[in-house]
Each structure stands twice: as C-alpha cells, then as structure tokens.
Amino acid sequence: MAALLALVCLWLGQHSALAGSGGVTDSASPRASFSLPLAGLSADQQAQFSYGAAIFRQRWFATVEGSEGGKGGEENEGDSSFAGLGPTFDAPACAACHVRAGRGRPPLRQGEMLSSLLIRLSNPGVDKHGAPRPHPAYGDQLQGRSIAGVPPEGRLFVEYSPEPGQFSDGTPYQLRRPVYVFFRMAFLQLGDPAMHSPRIASALPGDGLLEAIPERDILALADAEDAD
C-alpha cells in the first residue's frame, strides 16, 4: 500500500509542480480542470500522472472476490494490490471523496447522509506526543461504511438549526448551525466526554508543492514558542 500511496504523491506532484503559472490555466473544461495534467509535461511525467490518477480512482475491495458494505459486492479484476478494504472504512476510493480532484462539501439538506465529509473523534486531553486522545471504542475517526458481514461503526447525519443575527447597519441575516446526529453505533454511544470534528475532503491542486518541500526545511522553520 505504501508504494501505491507514493505513486499517488507523484501524481500530486505532477498535478501542481507548475502551479501559479498562467500558462497552465485551463478554461475549456471547468468541471474537470482539477483532474487534468499540466501543460508542458514530458512523456515520462504524463505517464506518472496517468498512473497516479488511475490509482486515485481505483476502487479497493475486501478480498479477491470483493465486497463492499454488503451492497452486492465490488467487482475487481483480480489485482490483489487493491485488496484489503475494511473491515470498516469511509470510502472505497480516494476519488469518492475528492470528486474530480476538488474539495468535498457538507450535507446541504436536513438529514442528508455524509458523502465527502468525515468525522474525527477524540476524548479530552492529549497523548504523550501532544496529539488528541482517540475515543476508546472508535479510535480517532468514525468509519461509517463496512464490508459484507461487518457492521459499520455508526451512522451520522446533519441537522441544521437557524442562527439569526444582524450586521452593524441593522440588516438581518440568518446562518445555519450544523448539529451532528450519531445513531446505530456498533459498540456504544460516544458518551458525554467525546468530542467530534467534521472534516471536508480538500482539493488536490497545490498538494504536490508541499510534498516537494524536504521535511528538514519545514522543521528548520519551526517556531514552537511562537517567538514571532
């Protein structure tokens, strides 16, 4: 799996290696612009892009026979490189959340199930590394889907409550406050101490630029004490 993820990173690198140049702007395919390779890539770079994009769109499966969420199974072409999905998961492919290499969205309608938004979980406090403490039953992320024969960790939908207000000139406005409703939890209810944080799938353009910066250069600029 590490090798496959490395290839996806290569794709991201080719995807945004020339980001910021007006010469790579594409206006002919607005719905698919984020999924297109940059202009001017070499033949080798084009091949890397195509291979990485194919992996990004590839649906993973549980076994060679394939299964996903108990919904009739997932067909596969016998490539065991993409086996190992589950037993619980968020989506069977990267592209399922990062649609057309763009960002996801929160649910738009009352009661709509999640599609490109996930929920991080934690308990109050931090671990020895300063990271959030995972939930004792569900870990650090709720997995809302599962392979056949295994229940998902839980279900979730969003309700919205109105939040009225007004601008400084008196013009009224109304916002919507999301309320995340957890149900059909597989092990136990989250409990009062549990905290949750919604995360929307990010857009991909530009990720390759950050990936190209050596880790040592990033660490050299660390400002742990916020001196500046």
- In the chain, where are the structural domains located? 1-58+93-104+203-228, 105-200
Q: What percent of the chain has pLDDT over 90?
A: 38
In this prediction, residue 5 carries a pLDDT of 47
Q: What is the CA radius of gyration of the chain?
A: 21
DSSP state of 190: -
Report pLDDT digits (tens) over 132-157: 999 999 999 999 999 988 999 999 88
Whole-prediction pTM: 0.67
Amino acid at 214: P
**Residue-wise DSSP of 92-116:** SSGGGTSGGGS------STTPBPSS
Residue 3 has pLDDT above 50, yes or no: no
